[in-house]
Structure 1
Amino acid sequence: MRPVFDPANVHRLKHRGAVDADGHVLEDASLWDHYIEAKYRDRALRLKRDENGLEYLEIGGRPSKRTRRGYPATLGRMGQKDLEAFTPHPDKTYAANMPYGACDAAERLKLLDAEGLDAAVLYPTLGILWEAELDDIELSQAYCRAYNRWIADFCRNTGGRLIPIAHLSLGDPEAAAIELERAVKDGCRGAFVVPFTWTHKAHGDPLHDPVYAKAVELDVPIAIHPAFEPFDLRSPRFENGHRLTLLASVTAGEGVRQAFTTFYDFATFDRFPTLKLVLLECGAGWIGYWLDRLDGVATATYLGGRAPLELKPSDYFRRQVWISGDPDERTLPAMMATYGADRFFWASDYPHPDHTGDYLQALEEMADAVPAPARRGLLGDNVRKAFRF
């Protein structure tokens, strides 16, 4: 039985006007059955149970090889450190372990009220697991359409406080551009893509220009959000490197960093000078070294001639890119001072277990280290500007 929600037990942010730039829903696991087109329903994403009663994902009609049995029950365990809570058991299910507000819009609004937050920009959970195992481009588009219809409905009557973001798959850029327009007309405020492509074409490659052209036309951002990735994209540097949990944790955003950098290699920002790009769940402290390195190479070495740019890489960042930081990042105030206070915002990752559960306390400490004129931007105004709500 789920515990009774008591707002008195929730830490309330002392600052007003805050927006969570990257919250998550534990979406209804049956949504793909209900929202996908009939011709794809037999291969809809589903939760099933194995012979031991453990839940598993079925993707494209096949059992998932990327997620272990019993894993779905752990997806909402933010703040829990006891390893027993993550031990598979038939009684531990995805639905039974949902924390408050994870899959109910009315609950999420009450949680925001208790936390003192104005709004939350929402991304999926199951939706960032399947693309690593589905190389069927047509079915991937159908999975995205189904989720996008559902998240628009989930957020529709929430007074603009729950912000739906569409999922796009870059396997078919023309289809993704069509879906972006449909989803935005349905209420989504932008879209996200995962940090890899089954075509192995870099995100900045002109092959993907139909998506960016449509985003510019609609004046919505494209975000890059981490996701499960195909096994062959993992570094073979160390034996069983994915089991080195601390290493895996700090490199989880590597795909986002690499995808972002290809926008410079292919001069994407020159082709689309009003494109808005958002980098999520990869931290923000790294961006200082990254931009310094890119500026140096682009302007002072022969390598820069291979990717001729009209501006310095850091100038494009200040003009067109936003990045989210974790509330416990101590370097974020310094990054804001150097690369533009209007380029940064915070995100909770609620309710995923790989981020700290005391994010509001950490956010207060970080916000206090930011000069007052920039604080409102960090807390909420910057993400409002990026997504226009």
Structure 2
Amino acid sequence: MSSNGSVVDGDGHVMEPEDLWTERMDAKRWGDWIPRKVTEDEVYETTYTGGVVRGGGRELQDQMAAAVGMTAKEFFDLTQSLRVPGGYDPHARIADMDAEGIDAAVLYPSQAMFFGPIDPIPALQDHEFVADCIRAYNDWIAEYCSAYPTRLFGMAGVPLQDVDRAIAEAQRAVGELGLRGIFIRPSAYIIDELGTELPLNHSVYDPFWATCQELGVPVGFHPGVHVDTPGACRKFGLVMESENMMVTNMAMTEIHGGSGLGQAVGNAADMIVTLGRITMGGVCERFPKLGFILLEAGGGWVPTQLERMDEQVKAFPLEKRWLSLLPSEYFKRQCWVSFEPEEWNLAACAEFLGADRVIWASDYPHPEYHPGIVKEVQEAVEPLAEADRRKVLGESAIAAYDLTLAS
């Protein structure tokens, strides 16, 4: 705990171990569909899901996700034994948190972010298979967090492409496993009989939103970069796949860009649309006690986007038929946004949005994390009043996720 109160990382990550799914899923039923990693040529790995290559060789997505503090050569040659241990070992993670001065962390997945939605891999069209994959992840993250139950808090996945299964898993993950909320991607999960992607404000999702509201847990919208996922990356061609490998910006893809372009542009684009869906699209209106957290897309765009949304609602009053508040008012009532410490306008945005709506995120052990990150966020909030500094550093995340920390 710092002099400014508790320090809570509002968006950290785990690195799923190689045997997570092979140890927890029924091999007789699912066979080669079970997600697994195969080491090739001693140092290169290929990730398979549903029997289809999801990433391979030096471009393996998981390598990139745990590359904190490594040189380019180390990044390319990374294997499980060399990865940052805290990604899959809670004791190592706590040691890293202690070194930084982080009191608690809320944890999101890496590979488990990509079980759908609307994924072209045939196995991921099987809703029961996807549900089993997600159940296995939720069981594992609950075990991981149980080592430090007042410092590590897991977010649960759900198979939202099947609303009934999503509801059942949300109830199990929160009620039985004690996970602190639900994560979903900021994109459509369901296609209707005409092939239309149904946006998140469509009424088909309302029973799921109602369940989350009844459970009293927030929904964390977390984007991710992959060629197969719907949203900006796929629609705008921000990443490409070649010879069974996800080509990244480090491979100098001049036309499509790569992971850097996807992270910088795709994440924010998807989140802007999602913010519009839940505010202007009526989700916040219909579920006023449900919290929403916008993650890993930066936060500097939120004030100007809310201003524009407010302006459009005022200019087109027909939309007010289903809205009792302005988009900015919904946000300030039930939404939070995560900032990276290096964002130069963090303090100004906290003043505009309210410091109680702003959390900070380390992204550990992904590349955006770096040693000294807590000092950096403390410097970023220095212009704020002491009470607001305490909110951004930890109190806002504690409220958003309803956390109980060690006394």
* TM interval, short-chain normalised: 0.7 to 0.9
CA contact (8 A) 1:120 1:162 kept: yes
Distance 1:241 1:211 in 2: 39
Match of 2:356 in 1: 342
Partner of 1:8: none
Q: What is the match of residue 250 of structure 1?
A: 264
The equivalent residue for 1:368 is: 382
Further displaced range: 221-230 or 70-79:
70-79
> Is the 8 Å Cα contact of residues 74 and 353 (structure 1) preserved in structure 2?
yes
Give 1:49's match in structure 2, choosing from 39, 49, 60.
39
Match of 1:111 in 2: 96
Identity %: 31
SS across alignment from 2:87? coil
Mark the CA change 1:41 to 1:21 in structure 2 (over 3 Å): closer, same or farther: farther
Pair 1:190 & 2:187 matched = no
Q: How much has 1:228 moved relative to structure 2?
A: 3.1
1:13 and 1:78 mapped to 2: Cα distance? 24
Structure-2 residue corresponding to 1:21: 10
**For residue 9 of structure 1, what is the aligned residue in structure 2?**
none
Describe the shift of the 1:168–1:237 C-alpha distance in structure 2 as closer, same or farther (beyond 3 A): closer
Q: Which runs of 5+ in 2 are unaligned?
A: 191-196, 240-252
Of stretches 345-354 and 110-119 in structure 1, the one that deviates more from structure 2 is 110-119
Paired amino acid for 1:161: R
TM-score, length basis structure 2:
0.84
How far does the alpha carbon of each residue in 1:202-242 deviate from its partner, in whole angstroms, 9 at most, with x for none? 11211111211111111000110012342672315999654
Is 1:40 aligned to residue 14 of structure 2? no
Match of 2:302 among 277, 287, 297: 287
**222-231 or 270-279: bigger deviation:** 222-231
The yes-or-no answer on 1:83 pairing with 2:80 is no
Q: Where do 5+ consecutive residues of structure 1 fail to align?
A: 1-11
Residues 330-353 of structure 1: per-residue CA shift (max 9 Å, x gap): 112111111221101100001111
Check conservation: 1:100, 1:111, Cα contact below 8 A: no
Q: Which amino acid aligns with 2:219?
A: I
Residues in 2 aligned to 1:302 and 1:312: alpha-carbon distance in whole angstroms: 11
Worse-superposed segment, 333-342 or 134-143: 134-143
Q: Which residue of 2 aligns with 1:60?
A: 50
Quote the residue 2:146 is aligned against.
Answer: 156
CA deviation digits over 1:113-150, x for unaligned, max 9? 22211111011112124535534333222211110011
Q: Residues 67-216 of structure 1 correspond to what in structure 2 (within 5 A)?
A: 67-70=55-58, 71=60, 72-80=62-70, 82-87=71-76, 89=77, 92-93=78-79, 95-131=80-116, 132=119, 133=121, 134-185=124-175, 186-199=177-190, 200-216=197-213
Shift of 1:50: 4.1
Residue in 1 that maps onto 2:250: none
Summarize deviations over 1:253-301 as a string: whole Å, max 9, x none: 1222222321134311111111111111111110011100000001123
- Pick aligned residue for 1:276 from 277, 282, 291: 291
Count of aligned pairs:
370
Cα distance, 1:311 vs structure 2: 0.5
Counterpart in the other structure of 1:5: none
Q: How far off is 1:364 after superposition?
A: 2.0
Q: Secondary structure at the match of 1:251?
A: helix
Distance (whole Å) between structure 2 residues aligned to residue 13 and residue 270 of structure 1: 37
Give the secondary structure class of the aligned counterpart of 2:82.
coil
Change (3 A) 1:246 1:150: closer
CA RMSD of aligned residues (A): 2.4
TM-score, normalised via structure 1 length: 0.88
Distance 1:191 1:334 in 2: 29
With 224-233 and 179-188 compared, the bigger mean Cα shift is at 224-233
Which letter maps to 1:203?
Answer: L
Distance 2:295 2:365 in 1: 15
Work out whether residues 297 and 304 of structure 1, in 8 Å CA contact, stay in contact via their aligned partners in 2: no
Contact preservation (8 Å) 1:195, 1:225: yes
C-alpha spacing 1:177/1:130, structure 2 compared with 1 (3 Å): closer
Q: Contact between 1:22 and 1:348, CA under 8 Å: does it hold in 2?
A: yes
